[in-house]
Chain A
């Protein structure tokens, strides 16, 4: 019983750490590029849209996608595991 809970806690922990790492790499990739590769960041992909503007938009969209992935995982896997643990406990 408590092993189930521990396993679920660890599964959540792995997903949480993995997704946090994705956001961290995405955002600090952007910040480091802005800080140390200013010329590459200034290149315009199409007139008006520089690499930097696109990268900033990617960070924002990346934050949306990672939160969506987490919520989808939690709604599907975490909640159903929790439900089965609860059912087992009841009887």
Chain B
């Protein structure tokens, strides 16, 4: 039924897209203006004055987390290979219960702006802060590269502007939010984006299922009829079982080490609100991944694989294409604008968390030994934001045309192996030491980078080699245990009495909060 490839207006200037896009920019800049007037202290700049409610933070966490890569990428992957997309969807969701059970409440009670606050509690500030800032900036950099290059390609495809114009405009608008409106503006941009993205995906899902009597099994059956029953079964994404397991570990434990996600728990008033916010986020993100799965199958059946591949060989345009099939250029324009909003919200969160590492961890805690005038703190925070905004734009331009899909996996691997073990050990283990924390973060981060550099992704796919030194695409199965083992071993070899003695106070504050 899909012998002819249907025409698409994707990539041509689209009036609806431009109108929705302008409306979104106007609304979010309005929010930024309002937020800027309320942003007078570092606490407001980095933590929204701890004034965000649990439910609001749940929506903002969802908006911070659901990237264009997961909306367009998973819908695309499902549209081309069916079932395999579910491996990613479930993996990206199961990190959230881990965040709730192990991290959210202790983090809120122990820290101020960054996860380094928690790791360095009762340990020596300077070495731990430097190591944690390295872990943070590594994750932020790889995530930013993936987002900026994705943004450039996406906006070029959707609006027909040049790649460089797309990257610079994302960078400049994002910088306006973060620089002037800080965490308050970033939070509300993320909430607006989460509502738009969930609403857009729900609308597409309803329109898709309406064609199948609202019975997903009829949609899946139709897909199996058209493309074979293998679309309902594991395919080439799991050709090597160990790859699937290692990726699963990175996804499950990486979320709990993502600095821009962890930072959001400081925006709520107390640990109870932090708890409620993960509850909301898990619900919203789970619904979102179920919907992308339906949408992917919808695109496979209603748009057809040939048409999806003709527009983009990665399949990334499956969701916009099904919007066009179901609702014409109007709906296509709306979804294109939503995808743009999605990128802006994620990039803003990343930039703010990188700026917190630079200014709060490195400048204030390490360089100024924790004693910097309030005006200076805010000025350095804004300066760090500008630096990161410019770095984001440059990274986007430098990596133009590169295949950066693996960078998201890399960011999750570093987060899971460098940040997560140190965070868990510092919260739950009395015997953890300064040396253990530094060794754990540095080893986990460097080992992830080294193993990815010699992985099939780099050595075969990117460099065109015959074989790779390390057999797996994602190193997490080796590097997460390594991060834990190094942290524990170094702590056992050189115990730190002052840190051990201070654990009682830490445990008390972890449970009771700040009294």
CA of A19 to CA of B96, assembled, Å: 12
Q: A27-B248, A35-B245 are in contact. Are A66 and B511 (CB under 8 A)?
A: no
Complex interface: chain A residues within 8 A of B220 (CB): 48-49, 53
Stretch of B227-235, B357-365, B440-448 lying at the A interface: B227-235
A70 and B244 contacting across the interface, CB-CB below 8 Å: no
Complex interface: chain B residues within 8 A of A86 (CB): 512
Complex interface: chain A residues within 8 A of B507 (CB): 5-6, 9
Q: Which residue of B lies closest to A30 (CB)?
A: B90
Interface positions, chain B 232-250, Cβ under 8 Å from A, are 232-234, 238, 241-242, 244-245, 248
A5 CB contact (under 8 Å) in B90, B293, B512: B512
Q: A5-B508, A71-B275 are in contact. Are A16 and B101 (CB under 8 A)?
A: yes
How many residues of chain A have a CB within 8 Å of chain B? 52
B248 and A28 contacting across the interface, CB-CB below 8 Å: yes
B102 and A74 contacting across the interface, CB-CB below 8 Å: no
B101 and A70 contacting across the interface, CB-CB below 8 Å: yes
CA of A28 to CA of B249, assembled, Å: 9
Q: Which residue of B lies closest to A17 (CB)?
A: B101
A31 CB contact (under 8 Å) in B97, B100, B245, B278: B245
Complex interface: chain B residues within 8 A of A84 (CB): none
Q: A41-B234, A63-B286 are in contact. Are A53 and B86 (CB under 8 A)?
A: yes
Q: A16-B102, A31-B248, A53-B83 are in contact. Are A82 and B512 (CB under 8 A)?
A: yes
Complex interface: chain A residues within 8 A of B53 (CB): none
Cβ of B133 within 8 Å of any chain A Cβ, yes or no, is no
Q: Which residue of A lies closest to B245 (CB)?
A: A31
A79 and B272 contacting across the interface, CB-CB below 8 Å: yes
A71 and B279 contacting across the interface, CB-CB below 8 Å: yes
Within the complex, what minimum Cβ distance (angstroms) separates A74 from chain B?
6
Cβ of B283 within 8 Å of any chain A Cβ, yes or no, is yes
Q: Which residue of A lies closest to B84 (CB)?
A: A34
B272 and A50 contacting across the interface, CB-CB below 8 Å: no
Hey, what's the 0/1 contact readout for A57-91 against B, CB within 8 Å counting as 1? 10111011011101100110001001001100000
Complex interface: chain A residues within 8 A of B275 (CB): 70-71, 74-75
Complex interface: chain B residues within 8 A of A27 (CB): 90-91, 94, 248, 252
Hey, what's the 0/1 contact readout for A10-40 against B, CB within 8 Å counting as 1? 0011011101100110111011101110100
B224 and A48 contacting across the interface, CB-CB below 8 Å: yes
A52 and B94 contacting across the interface, CB-CB below 8 Å: no
Cβ of B87 within 8 Å of any chain A Cβ, yes or no, is yes
Most chain B beta-carbon neighbours within 10 Å: one of A13, A38, A67, A71: A67
Interface positions, chain B 199-237, Cβ under 8 Å from A, are 216-224, 229-230, 232-234
B290 and A52 contacting across the interface, CB-CB below 8 Å: no
Most chain B beta-carbon neighbours within 10 Å: one of A23, A41, A68: A23
B217 CB contact (under 8 Å) in A6, A48, A52, A66: A48
Complex interface: chain A residues within 8 A of B216 (CB): 48-49
Cβ of B276 within 8 Å of any chain A Cβ, yes or no, is yes
Interface positions, chain B 399-417, Cβ under 8 Å from A, are none
Q: Which residue of B lies closest to A67 (CB)?
A: B282
CA of A46 to CA of B224, assembled, Å: 13
Within the complex, what minimum Cβ distance (angstroms) separates B208 from chain A?
14
A50 and B217 contacting across the interface, CB-CB below 8 Å: no
B234 and A60 contacting across the interface, CB-CB below 8 Å: no
Complex interface: chain B residues within 8 A of A42 (CB): 229-230, 232-234
Cβ of B504 within 8 Å of any chain A Cβ, yes or no, is yes
A36 and B89 contacting across the interface, CB-CB below 8 Å: no
Complex interface: chain A residues within 8 A of B34 (CB): none
Q: Which residue of A lies closest to B102 (CB)?
A: A16
Most chain A beta-carbon neighbours within 10 Å: one of B234, B276, B290: B234
Cβ of B510 within 8 Å of any chain A Cβ, yes or no, is yes
A63 and B94 contacting across the interface, CB-CB below 8 Å: yes
A47 and B234 contacting across the interface, CB-CB below 8 Å: no
Hey, what's the 0/1 contact readout for B392-404 against A, CB within 8 Å counting as 1? 0000000000000
Within the complex, what minimum Cβ distance (angstroms) separates B409 from chain A?
15
CA of A35 to CA of B87, assembled, Å: 10
Cβ of B484 within 8 Å of any chain A Cβ, yes or no, is no
Given contacts A48-B216, A63-B93, A67-B278, 13 further A-B contacts (CB under 8 A): A5-B507, A20-B98, A23-B252, A26-B94, A27-B252, A35-B244, A48-B218, A48-B232, A49-B220, A49-B232, A59-B93, A63-B96, A71-B275
Sorted from nearest, which 5 A-B pairs have the closest CB atoms? A35-B241, A42-B233, A48-B221, A48-B220, A48-B217
What are 25 A-B interface contacts by the 8 Å CB criterion? Answer: A5-B511, A6-B507, A8-B511, A9-B507, A16-B102, A19-B97, A20-B98, A23-B97, A30-B90, A31-B248, A32-B245, A35-B238, A47-B221, A48-B217, A48-B224, A49-B232, A50-B83, A52-B83, A60-B93, A63-B94, A63-B282, A67-B283, A70-B100, A79-B272, A82-B512
